[in-house]
Structure 1
Amino acid sequence: MPSSTSSSETASSEAALDARAIVDRPGFVRLTASDRPGVAQPVPEREIPQRPWPAMLATAALIFCLALGVWEWRMRAIGLAAGDLGDSPSGWAEQRRRLDAGGVQVAIVGDSRILFGTDLDRYERVTGVRPVQLALPGTNGRYLLENVAHHSSFDGLLIVGISEVHYFGNPPGRATDALARYAFESPSQWSGQQLYVMLSRELAFLDDNYRLSKLVRRLDHGWRAGARGEYGRPWKLYTMTDDRQARMWAPIERPGFLQDHARYAWFAAPPRKLDDAVIASTQRITREAVAAIRARGGEVVFLRPPASGPLHEKQVAALPRARGWDPLLRDAGVQGVYFDDEPAMRGLAIPEYSHVSAACATVYTDAYARALARLTPRVSVRADAPPPLSPADCADR
C-alpha cells in the first residue's frame, strides 16, 4: 500500500508537469498564477512573439518623419517660421533677472504696444544703449512697474509704455505668471525653456499659438449658438527673437482673415468702467513706485505708443487724455511722450488698429529715443547715430 508521502510527491510532480505544459504552450498568451498551480510565480508572464522588429521600427520612424515634415511644411505655409522663440514666463524671467545682476541702464515695462513698437537694435544704434525688454502682451504695465520699484535695486531709466485703459483698469494679465516664474523656476521649467528655444530655432511648428489643441478649439466659430469660442480672443500677433525682441507677425499686416480677426478681437470684450476711485488709486500706486525708483537714483519716463481707427476712438472715449494721461504724469511728477504730440510718430502703419507694423516699429523707436533725449539726461543721441526716420520710411513696407 503506497504511503501518503509518496502519493503527495506524485501529485506534486503531476501538477508541475501540467504547469510546464501550460507554460510551454505556444502563442501570445498571458500567463498568470492561476495557470501555474503549484508554481510560486506571482508576476504574470507574456510571451513575445517573433516579429520583424527592426523593419517595424524603421517603418514607424519613417511614418513619424513624414508626418513631422508634412506638419512643418503646413505651418510654414501659413506663415510660421523657425527662429520664433515664443514668449514664455521663463523667457521673461530670464530678462528680469538681468536687473538683479546690476549694470542695466535702461529697461522697458508695459503692455504689447510698447513691446511690438520697440526695435532694440534701433534704440541701441541711436543711443548706444540696449534696453532690457520686460513689457508683456495682455498685461497691465502698472504691476511690472511696481515689481521693478519695490522688488529690485534697479537705478537706471525705466521706460513705461501704457495704453491708458489697460494701465488704469485692467487686472495684471500675463504679469501674474511671469512674476511667479521669476520668483521661482523649477529645474524642469528652466530646462524645458532651454530645450524649447533650441528646437524653435530649427522648427516652426512648435509655435505655442498653433498647437493642435488650440487649432481644434478654433474650429468652433458660430457652430453652437451662445458658445464663446476662440474667435473672440487674439490669436498669434507677433514673433519673438533673442532679448525678447518682438515684431508684428507678417500675416497680420496683410489684409485678410487674420487681420480682420485681430481687429475683431479688440472689440469682443466690453470696455471696463474707470471710475474716479480707480483713477485715484492708479495715480497713488504710480506716484509711490516712481518715488521708490528715484530714491535709489533711478528715473522713470512714460510713453503712449500709437493706436488708430475705431479702437483708438473707443479707448479715448473710455478715458480721455485730460482724465488719464495728463493727470497721471502731473501727479507722479514724470516726463512723458504722447504719440500725438510728435510728428514723427503720427501716420504710422497700424494694421489692426492697436500695434505698429514691424517696419514702423523702427521708425517709432527712432522717434521716441530722440524725444527722450530731449526730456532726460539719461538718454543721449550718439554722435554717429543714423539720421532720423519719418513715417514715410515705413509707409510702403
Structure 2
Amino acid sequence: MPSSTSNSDYYFHENRPIPEGNWSATLMLALALFIAGLLAWEYNARVIWGYEPEAYIDNNGLWAIQRSMVDHSDEQSVVIIGASRILFDFDLDTFETATGVRPIQLALAGTNPQPILADLAADQDFKGLLLVGITPGSFFRERGGLSADAPEYYANESPSQWLGQQLSMLIEPHLSFYDQSNWPLFTLIERLELPNREGVFDPRMGVWKIAQSDRDRDTKMFWKVEQQPEYQHHAQMTWRGFMKMGDLRGPAPFDIDTYLAGVVNDVKTIRARGGEVVFIRPPSSGDYRPRENRLQPRETHWDRLLKETDSIGLHFEDHESLQGFRIPEWSHLHSADAPAYTAALIPLIHQQLLAAGKTGLY
C-alpha cells in the first residue's frame, strides 16, 4: 500500500492567476518611491543630524587594511596604537609634513592596546617606531575592550570579508546614512526626547557619533561635539554614566605585576629587531582627570611603566607645549587642536630619542 506522504500522485496545486495591470507603471512607481525614500533618509542624515560625506566607517575591516601595511613596512615606519585619545589627537598630515613619514594608525576606540602591542611584537616584519597612546583606564586593565578581536580578525579575514569591505568603501564616502552604527531605525527611536520610567536607564545616554575617519583612519572629532552645547553635554553625561556604573561594579581584578611583565617582554622583543617604543599620555580633563588620578595614580602606573620598560614617555603634565588644548568632552581634543598638539609632540619625541642614543624622527 503506497504511503500518502510519499506517493507523487497525491499533491495539492492551486492556480493563482496574475491579475491584469500595468506592471511597467507599477515598477516605475516602486522605483520612484524607493529613490524618494533614499533621498529623504540621506537628507535626514546630512541636514538634520549633520553627518558629513567623505567619511569611512571605522571597523575591523578598515583596521585590517592599515594593519596589512605593517607587513610591508621598514625601519623608517611609524605605527600608532592606543585607545581613542591617541586616535583623535594625533594628526597624520602634520606628522607626515614634518618628518616625511605617514604613520600607520592602529589605535582603536575603547580598546586596550596591549593585545596589539603583543601582536606587533610577534610580527617579524615590524622594525620601526611604535607610538603607544596611554589612556589609563583602557591600558591598565585585563579586559581587551570594544575591538579586542581586531588582531584576530586580521589574521583570519576571509576573502568574502575582504571583498565586502572593499565594496562598502565604494559607498561609505557618498552616503551619510550608510553608517549603520548610528542609523538603524530603533537607534533613532531611542534618541527621541521622551520621558523615562523611574529607575530605567536612559537609552539616550549611549555613545552617539563623536568621530569621523578618513580612509587611512586619520580620525577627528565630530563637529557637533565641538559646536553644539547640547550634543557636547550629552557626550559628557554619557562618560559620567559609564564612570558611575564602573564605580558601582567596583574595580576588576588586575595583577599589574604580571601585566607589566608581559609588556616589558613585548617591548624587548621589538627592540631586539631594531625597533623602538615610545609611550604617550594624551591630555584629559573634566571628570576624567580626578578619576584617573584616583584609580591609576601616576606613580604606581605611568611612572612604573616607563621604569620597567626602560622607555621614553611623554606625559602632557610634564610639557607646557602639550597643555592648553580644548577637550570638549573631557577625553579627546578638538579637531582644530589636534594638528597643534601633534606638532608639539614631534620635536619632543625627536629630542628624547636622540637623548636616548636612538635615531631621531628627522
Judged with a 3 Å threshold, the aligned counterparts in structure 2 of structure 1 residues 332 and 196 are, in CA distance, closer, same or farther, namely: same
1:153-211 superposed Cα distances (whole Å, 9 cap, x missing partner): 31101000011121012511133331222021223322221222111121111123322
Deviation of 1:227 (Å): 3.3
Contact 1:92 1:134 in 2 (8 A): yes
Deviation of 1:111 (Å): 0.3
Match 2:28 to one of 58, 71, 79? 58
Aligned twin of 2:5: none
Once residues 307 and 172 of structure 2 are traced to their aligned partners in structure 1, the CA distance between those partners, rounded to angstroms, is 45
Match 2:41 to one of 66, 71, 85? 71
Kindly indicate whether residue 171 of structure 2 is the aligned counterpart of residue 194 of structure 1.
Answer: no
Deviation of 1:220 (Å): 7.9
* 2:106 partner amino acid: L
Contact 1:159 1:302 in 2 (8 A): yes
1:239-268 superposed Cα distances (whole Å, 9 cap, x missing partner): 001211100000001242221111112121
Match 1:316 to one of 271, 275, 293? 293
Aligned twin of 1:373: 350
Judged with a 3 Å threshold, the aligned counterparts in structure 2 of structure 1 residues 198 and 341 are, in CA distance, closer, same or farther, namely: same
* 1:273 partner amino acid: P
Aligned twin of 2:204: 231
Unmatched segments (≥5 aa) in structure 2: 1-8
Aligned twin of 1:183: 155
* 2:72 partner amino acid: A
Equivalent residues, number: 343
Match 1:114 to one of 86, 98, 112? 86
Aligned twin of 2:54: 83
* 1:67 partner amino acid: G
Once residues 207 and 308 of structure 1 are traced to their aligned partners in structure 2, the CA distance between those partners, rounded to angstroms, is 29
Deviation of 1:297 (Å): 1.2
Kindly indicate whether residue 263 of structure 2 is the aligned counterpart of residue 286 of structure 1.
Answer: yes
Contact 1:168 1:274 in 2 (8 A): no
Compute the TM-score of the two structures, normalised by the length of structure 1.
0.81
Once residues 156 and 222 of structure 1 are traced to their aligned partners in structure 2, the CA distance between those partners, rounded to angstroms, is 53
1:297-325 superposed Cα distances (whole Å, 9 cap, x missing partner): 11101000111122112111211111110
Aligned twin of 2:329: 352
Once residues 345 and 178 of structure 2 are traced to their aligned partners in structure 1, the CA distance between those partners, rounded to angstroms, is 34
Judged with a 3 Å threshold, the aligned counterparts in structure 2 of structure 1 residues 184 and 61 are, in CA distance, closer, same or farther, namely: same
After superposition, the CA RMSD in angstroms is: 2.2
Once residues 274 and 289 of structure 1 are traced to their aligned partners in structure 2, the CA distance between those partners, rounded to angstroms, is 24
Once residues 195 and 127 of structure 2 are traced to their aligned partners in structure 1, the CA distance between those partners, rounded to angstroms, is 51
Contact 2:77 2:129 in 1 (8 A): yes
* 2:216 partner amino acid: D
Deviation of 1:86 (Å): 1.1
Deviation of 1:131 (Å): 0.5
Contact 1:114 1:135 in 2 (8 A): yes
Unmatched segments (≥5 aa) in structure 1: 1-38, 382-397
Kindly indicate whether residue 241 of structure 2 is the aligned counterpart of residue 241 of structure 1.
Answer: no
Q: Which moved more, 1:348-357 or 1:78-87?
A: 78-87
User: Larger RCO: Structure 1 or Structure 2 (Cα < 8 Å, ≥ 6 residues apart)?
Assistant: 2
Contact 2:72 2:125 in 1 (8 A): no
Kindly indicate whether residue 112 of structure 2 is the aligned counterpart of residue 135 of structure 1.
Answer: no
SS at match of 2:279: strand
Once residues 164 and 195 of structure 2 are traced to their aligned partners in structure 1, the CA distance between those partners, rounded to angstroms, is 36
Greater Cα radius of gyration, structure 1 or 2? 1
Aligned twin of 1:28: none
**Where does 1:21-36 land on structure 2 (aligned, <5 Å)?**
none
Deviation of 1:223 (Å): 1.9
* 1:59 partner amino acid: L
SS at match of 1:375: helix
Aligned twin of 1:256: 229
Once residues 228 and 19 of structure 2 are traced to their aligned partners in structure 1, the CA distance between those partners, rounded to angstroms, is 59
